[in-house]
Amino acid sequence: MNISKVFHFEAAHALYGYDGPCKHIHGHSYRLIITVSTVCQGNEYIPAPGILLDFKELKKMVSDSVLNKLDHALILSARYLQDRPCLSGEENLLVLPAEPSAENLLIYIRQLLSEVLPPPVRLVCLKLYETQGSLATWHHTDAVALNH
């Protein structure tokens, strides 16, 4: 059994070494879908109060650990800043060790969430829409496949 919650945030980024307009600082209205699960036994009902994880709790965890870092941030890689040190004083700057593509942002978000999700809740899927029609997806099975 899974539950999902949708979140929105605004952020700007640029991709170092990209041959196209995304090499310039630009912004997106991101949509993030987080899916979590816990162990659920077949056809048995979930004991009272009948929920895997309260949506309000999930919202608070995501807001505190993810959205407070990403919303209205300027997200750049350390490499991008090396070439443009004048940007390093920006108040809303978030520096990543990798380029802040949708794919790398999902890895960053997964790392943040893994620190706050209480057992037995586990992250199953992350979807990050950079635009209405373009998204990156991470599934728990992706991580398992990489380890084999």
Q: Give the tens place of pLDDT for each residue, 92-115.
A: 999 999 999 999 999 999 999 999
| Measured distance CA(68)–CA(122) in Å, rounded | 21
Q: Based on the structure, what is the number of domains in the chain?
A: 1
- In this prediction, residue 94 carries a pLDDT of 98
Residue 4 has pLDDT above 50, yes or no: yes
Longest Cα–Cα distance in the chain: 59
pLDDT of 13 higher than 80: yes
For the chain, how far is it from start to end, CA to CA, in angstroms?
Answer: 25
Is pLDDT of 145 > 90? no
* CATH number, domain with residue 25: 3.30.479.10
Sorting pLDDT into bands at 50, 70 and 90, what band is 43? confident
pLDDT score recorded for residue 41: 65
- Domain membership of residue 77 as a residue range: 2-146
Q: Which residue has the higher pLDDT, 46 or 49?
A: 49
Residue 120 tokens read as 């037995």
pLDDT tens digit string along 52-98?
Answer: 889 999 999 999 999 999 999 999 999 999 999 999 999 999 999 99
What is the spatial distance between Cα 93 and Cα 128, in angstroms, rounded to a whole number? 20
Whether 16 shows a pLDDT value over 70: the answer reads: yes
Confidence (pLDDT) at 59: 98
pTM of the model: 0.91
How many residues does the structure list for the chain? 148
Q: With contact defined as beta carbons under 8 Å apart, do 83 and 24 qualify? A: no
